[in-house]
């Protein structure tokens, strides 16, 4: 038994031992481990228009929910442009419905999970007049064509049961012309809602509307009551849906809300549900917007990737722009940002890139550059569709076959992204190259490194490139991660590798440790 003096003398050593033990535990928990625990980083996002995704089993009972001038279309009918309806202050295409709802969506959750999706993102589902629901009557109510708030809660529970998260579309810049609050405010100067909107003779039509659309009167966010309703109070729209099972919000036209209100909304969401996601539709350069919310829909990166594919930017210039963008924004927000190629506002990828080879090259970049790939429903089966509304046609379930080459390819890309830790949470480092667009994703484990080399030109390119990863050992083979059965290998030495990349394609390479009879060149390097 120690004497008190000896015990006291041993205390500093004991404290030092505990400190070293604690620091060792902290060291084991790297920034990459922390990123990997955050579901928002590098997630696979699957986007759905509820009305167009899965046909309802109760369509006959729902027909009364689509009174004229609304039209309930047959599932086999594609979406087509309409005509302007002056009395309605909108286009007839906005009143075409196909009858999908939350219940029919629930029946397809196994399909979505089977693709490998981590996040289900729904375009607006709140009470509104049109099919797109960007003209809300009441954000707290679910549109009856889709279901009820109780059915929303059940959907959220079913999504979580499959290990996925649920993100909703928040349209907090404007409401609908026929919203009861706006109708009362517009007709009654003494209305309690009068200051919820910008109303006056200085505005065409008598109220400030979003970009000239008379059906979309803007909310006056400078009014604290509006902010309390939308996000500030515990019973607000943002916080209420998070409490009911949503895991995040995608904010429509987020740049319209401005930095201050975006930051307030994001903080409110995090108070209600720590670790929730707020991602903004920001068509601007992302930069400072990522200090106002968690992430953006990365249209800037989309422009660079498509510019590379279409020959607008050289590979070297594309690399510089990507590097600048990530440096300005920071890698953490970029990992959470959605990498969008197509969605409900953009022609489908098959229409943007009719050349199948270039399309596949772009998709490789979508799944390997920093971010969360956004898969628009139907992209996985090769659906086509031009500008809105053609890109919003009902889901082609007849194409959702295991032998569909587009489906096989999409599952391959999703599998690659999910299996490679570096693609989900790794840092970005550009590779020194002139003719190839080349970059590296890396973590704290050198053998997790992923090297991507894209050749948008019409001819094969052979180039010797420098990979500035000092932990990669001389003689390490680089193998094709997209085609693991391929015998093609490239030898890495002294920081350089010579690669041949076929026209309009991309290579995804990973290091493979040589079998040297139990000897490892990486024995003292992670």
Task: Please check whether residues 400 and 445 belong to one and the same domain.
Answer: no
pLDDT (0 to 100) of residue 454: 98
If one compares 493 and 254, the residue with the highest pLDDT of the two is 254
Residues whose CB falls within 8 Å of the CB of residue 108, separated by 6 or more in sequence, listed in order:
53, 54
pLDDT (0 to 100) of residue 525: 87
pLDDT (0 to 100) of residue 483: 86
In a domain, 353, yes or no: yes
Per the listing, tokens 């997630």 go with: 43
Asked whether the beta carbons of 436 and 455 are under 8 A apart, the reply is: yes
Instruction: Choose one of 391, 419, 447: the last residue of a domain.
Output: 419
Task: Please check whether residues 152 and 236 belong to one and the same domain.
Answer: yes
Which CATH number does the domain housing residue 490 bear? 2.60.40.1180
Which CATH number does the domain housing residue 313 bear? 3.20.20.80
pLDDT (0 to 100) of residue 485: 81
Asked whether the beta carbons of 422 and 449 are under 8 A apart, the reply is: yes
**CB-side neighbour CA atoms (13 Å) of 339:** 27
Asked whether the beta carbons of 436 and 454 are under 8 A apart, the reply is: yes
Instruction: Choose one of 419, 439, 455: the last residue of a domain.
Output: 419
Per the listing, tokens 């026209």 go with: 503
Task: Please check whether residues 449 and 396 belong to one and the same domain.
Answer: no
Asked whether the beta carbons of 448 and 471 are under 8 A apart, the reply is: no
- CA–CA distance from 128 to each of 92, 136, 250 (Å)? 15, 4, 18
In a domain, 213, yes or no: no
In this prediction, what percent of the chain has a pLDDT beyond 90?
Answer: 90
Neighbours of 199 (CB within 10 A): 21
Neighbours of 5 (CB within 10 A): 8
DSSP letters for 53-85: HS--TTHHHHGGGS-TT-EE--TTSPP----EE
- CA–CA distance from 357 to each of 42, 277, 362, 462, 464 (Å)? 25, 34, 9, 18, 23
Tell which residue, 110, 93, 111, 100, has the closest CA to residue 50.
100
How would residue 521 be classed by pLDDT, with cut points 50, 70 and 90?
confident
DSSP β-bridge partners for residue 46: 120, 375
Q: What angle (nearest 5°) sits at the alpha carbon of residue 174, between those of residues 170 and 175?
A: 90
- Residues making up the chain, counted from first to last: 526
Asked whether the beta carbons of 237 and 154 are under 8 A apart, the reply is: no
pLDDT (0 to 100) of residue 15: 43
Residue 265: which domain range?
A: 39-173+221-419
Distance between CA atoms of 396 and 400, rounded to whole angstroms? 7
pLDDT (0 to 100) of residue 20: 39
Instruction: Choose one of 382, 403, 419: the last residue of a domain.
Output: 419
Task: Give tens-digit pLDDT for 477-520.
Answer: 999 999 888 888 898 889 999 999 999 999 999 999 887 888 88
**CB-side neighbour CA atoms (13 Å) of 204:** 8
Is the bond preceding 467 in cis, omega lying within 30 degrees of 0? Answer: no
Distance between CA atoms of 137 and 181, rounded to whole angstroms? 8
pLDDT (0 to 100) of residue 29: 86
- CA–CA distance from 401 to each of 47, 135, 341, 405, 406 (Å)? 19, 36, 23, 9, 10
Task: Give tens-digit pLDDT for 197-251.
Answer: 999 999 999 999 999 999 999 999 999 999 999 999 999 999 999 999 999 999 9
Neighbours of 178 (CB within 10 A): 15
Task: Give tens-digit pLDDT for 47-74.
Answer: 999 999 999 998 999 999 999 999 999 9
**Average pLDDT of the segment spanning 176-196:** 97
Hey, what are 196's tokens?
């919820």
pLDDT (0 to 100) of residue 27: 52
pLDDT (0 to 100) of residue 28: 66
Q: How many domains does the chain divide into?
A: 2
DSSP β-bridge partners for residue 511: 478
Is the bond preceding 121 in cis, omega lying within 30 degrees of 0? Answer: no
Task: Please check whether residues 347 and 364 belong to one and the same domain.
Answer: yes
Query: Average per-residue pLDDT in the chain?
Result: 94
Task: Please check whether residues 415 and 455 belong to one and the same domain.
Answer: no
Task: Please check whether residues 134 and 225 belong to one and the same domain.
Answer: yes
Residues whose CB falls within 8 Å of the CB of residue 190, separated by 6 or more in sequence, listed in order:
none
In a domain, 33, yes or no: no
Task: Please check whether residues 150 and 288 belong to one and the same domain.
Answer: yes
Residues whose CB falls within 8 Å of the CB of residue 16, separated by 6 or more in sequence, listed in order:
none
Segment among 101-110, 278-287, 329-338, 476-485 with least mean pLDDT: 476-485
Task: Please check whether residues 399 and 474 belong to one and the same domain.
Answer: no
Neighbours of 46 (CB within 10 A): 26
pLDDT (0 to 100) of residue 21: 42
**CB-side neighbour CA atoms (13 Å) of 168:** 28
**Average pLDDT of the segment spanning 5-25:** 41
pLDDT (0 to 100) of residue 209: 97
């Amino acid at each position: 038994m120690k004497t008190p003096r000896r015990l006291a003398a041993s205390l500093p050593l004991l404290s030092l031992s505990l400190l070293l033990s604690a620091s060792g535990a902290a060291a084991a928990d790297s920034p990459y481990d922390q990123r990997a625990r955050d579901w928002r980083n590098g997630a696979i996002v699957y986007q759905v228009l509820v009305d167009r995704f899965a046909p309802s089993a109760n369509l006959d009972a729902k027909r009364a929910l689509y009174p004229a001038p609304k039209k309930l279309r047959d599932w086999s009918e594609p979406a087509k442009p309409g005509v302007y309806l002056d009395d309605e202050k909108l286009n007839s295409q906005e009143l075409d419905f196909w009858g999908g709802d939350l219940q029919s969506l629930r029946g397809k959750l196994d399909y979505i999970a089977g693709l490998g999706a981590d996040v289900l993102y729904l375009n607006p589902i709140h009470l509104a007049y049109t099919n797109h629901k960007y003209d809300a009557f009441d954000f707290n109510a679910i549109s009856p064509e889709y279901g009820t708030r109780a059915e929303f809660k059940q959907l959220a529970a079913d999504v979580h049961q499959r290990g996925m998260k649920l993100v909703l579309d928040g349209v907090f810049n404007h409401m609908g012309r026929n919203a009861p609050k706006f109708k009362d405010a517009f007709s009654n100067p003494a209305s309690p809602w009068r200051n919820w909107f910008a109303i006056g003779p200085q505005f065409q039509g008598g109220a400030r509307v979003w970009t000239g659309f008379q059906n979309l009167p803007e909310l006056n966010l400078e009014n604290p009551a509006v902010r309390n309703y939308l996000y500030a109070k515990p019973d607000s729209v943002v916080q209420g849906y998070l409490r009911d099972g949503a895991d995040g919000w995608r904010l429509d036209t987020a740049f319209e809300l401005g930095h201050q209100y975006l930051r307030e909304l994001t903080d409110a969401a995090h108070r209600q549900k720590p670790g929730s996601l707020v991602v903004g539709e920001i068509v601007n350069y992302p930069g400072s917007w990522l200090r106002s919310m968690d992430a953006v829909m990365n249209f800037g990166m989309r422009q660079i990737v498509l510019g590379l594919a279409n020959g607008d930017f050289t590979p070297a210039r594309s690399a510089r722009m990507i590097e600048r963008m990530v440096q300005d924004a920071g890698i953490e927000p970029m990992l959470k940002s959605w990498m969008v190629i197509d969605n409900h506002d953009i022609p489908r990828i098959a229409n943007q890139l009719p050349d199948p080879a270039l399309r596949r090259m772009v998709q490789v970049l979508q799944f390997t550059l920093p971010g969360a790939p956004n898969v628009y429903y139907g992209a996985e089966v090769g659906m086509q569709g031009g500008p809105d509304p053609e890109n919003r046609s009902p889901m082609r379930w007849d194409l959702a076959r295991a032998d569909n080459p587009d489906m096989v390819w999409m599952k391959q890309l999703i599998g690659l992204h999910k299996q490679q830790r570096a693609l989900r949470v790794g840092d970005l480092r550009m590779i020194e190259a002139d003719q190839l667009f080349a970059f590296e994703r890396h973590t704290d484990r050198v053998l997790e490194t992923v090297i991507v080399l894209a050749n948008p030109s019409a001819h094969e390119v052979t180039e010797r490139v420098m990979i500035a990863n000092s932990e990669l050992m001389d003689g390490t083979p680089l193998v094709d991660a997209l085609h693991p059965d391929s015998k093609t290998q490239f030898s890495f030495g002294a920081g350089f590798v010579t690669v041949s990349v076929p026209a309009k394609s991309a290579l995804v390479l990973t290091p493979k440790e040589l079998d040297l009879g139990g000897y490892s060149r990486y024995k003292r390097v992670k």
